[in-house]
Structure 1
Amino acid sequence: MRSPLSWNNRWLWLSLGALALLLTLLWFGGAVTHQLESGSTWNRGPAGYSAWYARLQQQGVAVQRWQQPVGELLAQVAEAEAAGTVTLVAVLPGFVGQGELAQWLPWMGEWLEAGHRLAVLGIQMPVTSAPFAQAIASDWGTVEIHTRRRHGGPHSQMLLGDDYGAVVWTQDQNLLLSATPHLAANAYQQAAGNVALLTAWVTAAEGTVWVDEYLHGYRDEAAIAQELGSDNWLAYLARTPWLLLGVQALFITLVALIALNRRLGPRQAVLEPSVNNSQAYITALAGVLHKASSHDFVVQTLSQAERLTLQKQLGLGETPVTDEQLATAWTQHNGGHLQVLEPILQPIRPRTEAQLKIWLQQLQSLYRPKDLRP
């Protein structure tokens, strides 16, 4: 039989469950954050673009990070005098299909219509039979890639590709697309062709190069103030991580219900029942005698005890008396028949349990009101 969990053990399991849930939430949160930072110029990991951004700065290229909605950049460039052609680089956090670009880059059409240049890295293309790891020759040197995705549709110019299709291409003069988001990532900083290809295209217009960091979750003070001060409460609710908050609230509620469960009132300690040693001894002895069929011992012990009890009730004291004295006192006190005293004066020697029961019934008749009267 399994023993119930003690309160301390229950709290131990609850603590372990809370720790497991916390680690799970941290793992999922870390995975989402890590994926969002992929392609960011702040990321120094293999999927980041910090080395490429630093190389542009070393070459004296006018490159800056943009940490606000791109619509604000459009307005800023439109107001600036002689701003010229501006190039914007958007490295997607992962592969994004062309049908989903409008959700990630809603400003894309307006940006191109304004005559600016745009490089989008990470367009999800179909998987082909091309080798996953390849070193492809280009006008800027050997470019290393790790993807089987290729663009096989129409394009203006293929900057990098093979027999299976294009890896990097231009859709028109101002739009560069790449089937991999890791074209010039830190993992390829030793491959001269990777960095050179992207650098050559973004600097071809000799204007300012902007890198979209707002896409990776980075916000400057102006963007944060604008979001916090927004009057659109629906937009605020849409940005709130309700799923994470809901999981945490559910876990806290379950812990509270288990810890504060008081359906029948306050908790009370279960008291151990007191043990009657005399009763326990008598019960144990009776069990032993019954199992051993010691009928003679039972008759002898009970007859002596009952004789002494009857003697006290008749006023003869505790000193043993003769049968004649006991019978005389009985007759004087009750006026009854002496046959009633036979179970005490002449106890039988029962051979069976049935005979023992009959003798016990005769012994009990001594204490009936008609036999013993005050």
Structure 2
Amino acid sequence: MPSSLSSGDRKILLIAGAAFVILVVLGFLLAPTNNETSAASTYSVASEGAKAAFLLLQQTGYHVERWQRPVRELKSDKHTVLIIADPSAAANQQGKKAIDDFISGGGRLITNGMIGASVLPEDFSEYNALPHTPWSEFNALTPSAITRAAPKITLSPVAHWSQSSGILLYGNENESVAVRVPHGEGDAIWLASATPFTNAGIKETKNLEFLLAAIGDKQHTRILFDEYVHGYGEHSVPEKRHPIMTALLVQSVVLALAALFTFSRRSGPLRPLAMESRLAPLEFVETLGGLYRHAHAASVAVDVSYQRFQYWITRRLGLAANASPEDLTRAVSERWKWNDDKFAQTLHEAASARYRPDLPQKEETFRKKKLLRLCNLCIPTQ
């Protein structure tokens, strides 16, 4: 059975297939690996990831889980610690209220950075534009169970707590980088960065001791690492109806309809191309003639006819395009052996018509007919 694809269609199909293969290969080559993420995710083995802390707590007997649902579905519990490390986006009003209810109900929140501080009952965090060192050691500022277990910690001071509200845990004479904020029956611990949770930072001075002290009792505490803020987990129905998802669905429907319409047109019956009517060129000639007549440009019409005749005869005689009537008469007489006493006169009259803008229409018609007669006579002579 012969193929229904033409050579042009096959060429387009091959080009599209080659482009698709190239894009797939480039996608595999240029796609970032999972360990290149800069978020403190428990799935990441990069330096900034938090998989080491998660596995360490799991292997030492802590009840640790990954929370992969919206925070508004989290119930308040006095023995639950929620760790939101390096959140990628600020929570909406529903999320902030859910976190506030979680803390006031007796839970403990551990978070970091300015985005993490935005969900706290009070936010006095400020960004440090130029940290003096990537990592720095900070001593305890206030006696507490946490600072007694870890007299100092090491972290990156990308932010600081600008006021003395809450209980200042760690810092120096210039800035505070760790704060405990009591709220209701629970509290929140804010850090300038997630260094104590990261794979590279957990081994630094007293960071592990700080993490264990901040979590609390091993036997009764439930630890939740929030992975929903890093893009993991199931999304609820309202979030599946996000405007971006709606726009993607609309674009997919439009693309499918365009493909269906294109395929249906290409698969329809073939009809011969309609022949172009000869009336169009004739109408053009009549329109051009009417334009000359309306503008009283009889000399232009004669000049156009003479130039066409001159172009035709000089090409056949091998003369220059601007040959004079005398040169044309002499060449016709010598090469074609054709003598006509009125040949030179007709050429002179036609060539001089361009200099007569007041040329009468009757004389214009007469000269054009004489040129046509010469053309008809020259063809059989040649």
TM-score range, shorter chain: 0.5 to 0.7
SS at match of 1:120: strand
Question: How many Å separate the matches in 1 of 2:131 and 2:52?
Answer: 28
Residues 87 and 205 of structure 1, relative CA distance in 2, 3 Å threshold:
farther
One-letter code aligned to 1:213 = E
User: For each residue in 1:118-145, what CA deviation from the matched residue of structure 2 results, as whole angstroms up to 9, or x when unmatched?
Assistant: 2123334322465252311345376443
- Give the structure with higher Rg (CA): 1
Percent identical pairs in the alignment equals 18
Residues 247 and 174 of structure 1, relative CA distance in 2, 3 Å threshold:
same
Alignment of 1:93-242 (within 5 A): 93-94=87-88, 96=90, 100=91, 102-124=93-115, 125-128=125-128, 130-138=131-139, 140=150, 143-172=153-182, 174-204=187-217, 207-211=220-224, 212-219=226-233, 227=236, 236-238=240-242, 241-242=245-246
Look up the match of 2:315.
Answer: 287
Gaps of 5+ in 1: 1-5, 78-83, 272-282, 302-346, 366-374
SS at match of 1:43: coil
Residues 242 and 95 of structure 1, relative CA distance in 2, 3 Å threshold:
closer
SS at match of 1:93: coil
Residues 238 and 361 of structure 1, relative CA distance in 2, 3 Å threshold:
closer
CA shift for structure 1 position 66: 2.9
SS at match of 1:118: strand
Does 2:333 match 1:296?
yes
User: For each residue in 1:201-258, what CA deviation from the matched residue of structure 2 results, as whole angstroms up to 9, or x when unmatched?
Assistant: 1125752232233333433xxx67xx4xx6xxx5542386234445555666778888
One-letter code aligned to 1:288 = R
Residues 363 and 242 of structure 1, relative CA distance in 2, 3 Å threshold:
closer
Look up the match of 1:63.
Answer: 64
Residues 14 and 123 of structure 1, relative CA distance in 2, 3 Å threshold:
same
Gaps of 5+ in 2: 1-7, 116-124, 140-146, 276-310, 321-327, 349-368, 378-382
Residues 268 and 183 of structure 1, relative CA distance in 2, 3 Å threshold:
farther
One-letter code aligned to 2:112 = L
Question: How many Å separate the matches in 1 of 2:75 and 2:156?
Answer: 34
Aligned residues of 2:179 and 2:191 also touching (Cα < 8 A): yes
User: For each residue in 1:341-362, what CA deviation from the matched residue of structure 2 results, as whole angstroms up to 9, or x when unmatched?
Assistant: xxxxxx4578947479979959
Question: How many Å separate the matches in 1 of 2:97 and 2:24?
Answer: 35
Please, what TM-score do these two structures have when normalized by structure 1? Answer: 0.55
One-letter code aligned to 2:221 = T
CA shift for structure 1 position 176: 0.8
CA shift for structure 1 position 92: 4.1
